[in-house]
Structure 1
């Protein structure tokens, strides 16, 4: 029987080549050629079957019938090439009949495979075309893989899926071939997502995820009904299947229409369940967060998420020891509450501010990157309400800021400075608290930082703090900070930062007797006088005030002598 199978394969191969030269009835010949390619793949699997095992007995009657059909098809092909048929309508009818006959043979082989008569151990694999192969060779190879997906046992299907994934990631032409030309494969892949065999489901989810990464082909997946099966994978699939499904959903839900479809199929609940489960690591939870972020761009879906307990779920996740999970949970809370007062209040009510402050605590075991994300979230969530600011202060958040100003890495120090600036602009009480805590000496040290932005913000923040009388008195008691501030006017050193604000800080300090004395008696007053001579108005005002006070002091000593 093996020889008759080989004969049939050879005849089909010649027939497929001949069909490409046919110039008439193109659509019908394309259909016949597609079925012939599937038939050839099935027969090539039989070729490698061991007769002694009895596995090929089921094919003994089928192969001769296939040969008869293929020979009839060769006759039709030659007549079409030679244009020797008697009439177009009759030939169209004959071609329809032939397509049905070949399709029936494919179905019969598939039925025998499904019954388990032939297993993957007996199936040969068509060699993969080399790089730069023509489209016909590529198409034939992929059709062979499709046949194996349809008629093979579990292992044969798995191997076909692995081979398909491999060629797609190595040559993007195969992706186009699968998505736009051989759409039957996409439908098979979508069906495989519901397969009870986890290895089949896993490989299929990897492939649809890869295809979804191409904007041109997302529509093909959606139109093939991929969203429902992907959501079912989220509920019942293996860990690997879930990863592929979530990656695919993340790319598909960039389109809000697809977001609705995911939500309608129960995707929100399934994704939140993944996030709340202790079974999954940071990568899968991070991917699930990405899908949920896409989904809450639709207002109604966001409200549903909040009702489903998303806020509490992600506040709980901020306690995770996994850095990826922590970062994703903080970013989720920040994004879902952005520009939405109701959701922001829910975040606060569920303990969100306390959770963010806990992450930013220098004593906590969190990474610098996680602290940065938490500080940004605090900035975005907490400064629109005095109540929230008071909560920050009550949770000792100022201690964290002061630590990062003193000891933080550059990125953390800059974030802490920005938050310090915003915090001291909220109320005089906040300024007093920060003055008592020791912020002013740390800000003074930053007045000659390398970064212009850091210098400028440090000057503005210090200027805001010394606007409070209590803080002015505290600042002038610190001889090092006063001296450092005055050194910035040294001609050799050059003024660092905002000259006008520096002078306004000094002007504020002259409201204290000790401040006036220290400024007037310093060796740097001549630098301020030089600025006054250059017609810097604030310097003139400062010199006049200091001179006036010196004159009054002289008169006082004269009258009391």
Structure 2
């Protein structure tokens, strides 16, 4: 350790890099001696007085911070200290000869140069104070180092150790040099990858804004690349972390990276942008950074992963009413239609979802989509795609487009499309069944095609008993009624014992799983052709009794249906008497 110099001059000449001088305590002693010197000598300054008053205001807080630092139990073990204290000592040593020149009121040197030097050193001292304060507040000096020394946290570590580990990482990110930052980012990425539960703690304990600042370090690619990976993980984990990344200013840098970076970085940036824009309150900000054109270009020229996530971001923007004009102007519709033919299933799904939202917004976008032959590509996917997620988005898009009469005509005349809709009603997920049934109910299907898909009637009957998702029962009933406009379908439905019993059970007033108007409407559709066979089957199964009860409950249509069956019953009785 250095002996305490007898004068400040000795401090200025002390070789900080010597073996003894490298010890933090020795350097701290030199710093404290210099601070004492400056606190005394600054009272005698006669030139540039205001600047020295500002400098003096920093000496006492600095000494207080150093006192707190030296009272911490493990301060000498911290690697950052071994960088921060020598840097601080160097700054103070540079300041000393300036103080000697300013003692005389008749300063004869270069005034502008002196003013500049004092301003630079004053700013540097402020940075030292900030960094030391940050290190002190982090709490890492109270315990043995855990972060970059070991690079990763041991499994089963106490929660307090995890908190300290995270604070240590972010302290090094904020005030450490390049190597400190690299190792800190390695530790952070390892933590985020190994333990998803730690992500929330990272947001709580870490300074995410300082991490986001590293996204702009283009001159140090390794640090920037690691920062992009970390921010991408944080943005895509949950609502809390996504909000934190957005509020920390992460959207703009990520859009710039998406616009101009390597393929891996673009993919990570696209993930982050898609996640951030999933919140409607964040999505509007894309326009601030001219991000719409960036996303569209990424959809045109990016890798499959970049295209997929960029399409997802455009889908998110489509939900924001004020963003739709920009999407139209920048050419989002042709790009989304093109992505329907992508090799990426995820890109197909997100493109279809975006088109669905835009088509639902009004006739202008419907016309744009039809102009790009979007309907034909969507119909092709219905017949050639097996992914439920893609099919669901595709059917939603087709449903949105079907608000146009011309689309209804095209769909109604396509036997291949109608047949596939029937298959989805039979074999699809509940959402696909719902969407397919809704579409079918609103189309003008030919009698021939109604016969071609008659096998889905049993599935429609089953769907009428499903209360969820909302609207499914009504859609299934309307689709079934549409198919029952063909006489052979009525006979086929009623001939099947399972279908008949299911219909009778739905008519039962004690069965509250189905709104009673729906099975009554189905019975009315069956009776519309005055088929003697159908009436007899319904009577034999007990439909008349249930319809009478429903008529007493004033269920719409029940009274007329009961009357039809009553007349049929009377005719049957008279015909028997006639034969006798």
Give the SS at the match of 1:355: helix
The aligned residue for residue 28 of structure 2 is: 12
Residue 508 of structure 1 deviates from its aligned partner by 5.2
* Mapping 1:534-549, distance limit 5 Å: 536=551, 537-538=559-560, 540-547=562-569, 549=571
From 392, 400, 407, the counterpart of 2:420: 400
Pairwise CA distance, 1:237: 1.2
Q: Does structure 2 conserve the Cα–Cα contact (< 8 Å) formed by 1:531 and 1:539? A: no
Within the candidate set 304, 323, 329, 1:307 is matched to 329
Superposed CA deviations along residues 80-125 of structure 1, whole A, max 9, x for unmatched, are xxxxxxxxxxxxxxx999866757999xxxxxxxxxxxxxxxxx96
Q: 1:525 aligns with which of 534, 537, 540?
A: 540
Contact between 1:357 and 1:395, CA under 8 Å: does it hold in 2?
no
Change (3 A) 1:29 1:238: farther
* Cα distance in 2 between the residues matched to 1:97 and 1:280: 47
Secondary structure of 1:12's counterpart equals helix
Q: TM-score normalized by structure 1?
A: 0.65
CA contact (8 A) 2:30 2:89 kept: no
| Pair 1:280-2:303 in alignment | yes
Alignment pair present for 1:384 and 2:406 = no
Any stretches of 5+ residues in structure 2 without a counterpart? 1-16, 36-55, 70-74, 98-117, 130-146, 552-558
Over 3 Å counting, the alpha-carbon distance change for 1:25 and 1:104 in structure 2 is: closer
Q: 1:492 to 1:70 in 2, by over 3 A?
A: closer
Do the aligned partners of 2:440 and 2:479 also contact (CA within 8 Å) in 1? yes
Counterpart pick for 2:452 among 437, 444, 449: 437
Taking the aligned partners of 1:388 and 1:126, their CA distance within structure 2 comes to 65
Q: How does 1:356-505 map to 2 (within 5 A)?
A: 356-361=378-383, 364-379=384-399, 381-396=400-415, 397-408=417-428, 412-423=432-443, 429-430=444-445, 432=447, 434-439=449-454, 442-444=456-458, 446-447=460-461, 451-453=465-467, 457-466=475-484, 468=485, 471-472=486-487, 474-475=488-489, 478=492, 481=495, 486-487=500-501, 502=519, 505=522
Secondary structure of the equivalent of 2:342?
coil
Alignment check: 8 A CA contact 1:311 1:347 kept = yes
Determine if the alignment matches structure 1 residue 352 to structure 2 residue 377: no
Do the aligned partners of residues 376 and 247 (structure 1) sit closer, same or farther apart at CA in structure 2, a change above 3 Å counting? same
What's the TM-score, normalizing by structure 2?
0.64
Task: Say whether the 8 Å CA contact 1:42–1:148 is kept in structure 2.
Answer: yes
Tell me if 1:214 matches 2:236: no
Mapping of residues 243-282 of structure 1, within 5 Å: 243-250=267-274, 252-253=276-277, 259=283, 261-277=285-301, 279-282=302-305
- The question of whether the paired residues in 2 share the 8 Å contact of 1:11 and 1:70 is answered with no
What is the deviation of 1:143?
4.1
Task: Specify whether residues 358 and 265 from structure 1 end up closer, same or farther in structure 2 by C-alpha distance, changes over 3 A only.
Answer: same
The 3 A distance-change label for structure 1 pair 175 and 534 is closer
Question: Is the 1:507–1:542 contact (alpha carbons within 8 Å) kept by the matching residues of 2?
Answer: no
Structure 1: runs of 5+ lacking an equivalent = 48-58, 73-94, 107-123, 424-428
Shift of 1:422: 3.3
1:235 corresponds, among 259, 283, 287, to: 259
Contact 2:277 2:317 in 1 (8 A): yes
2:440 & 2:355 partners in 1: Cα distance? 22
Find the aligned partners of 1:539 and 1:147 in 2 and give their Cα distance: 82
1:3 lines up with 2:19 in the alignment: yes
Cα separation, 1, equivalents of 2:234 and 2:435 = 40
The whole-number CA distance in structure 2 between the counterparts of 1:551 and 1:534 is 22
CA contact (8 A) 1:331 1:373 kept: yes
8 Å contact from structure 1 (residues 162, 203) kept in 2: yes
Question: Which residue is equivalent to 2:228?
Answer: 205
Secondary structure of 2:19 counterpart: helix
Residues in 2 aligned to 1:523 and 1:105: alpha-carbon distance in whole angstroms:
91
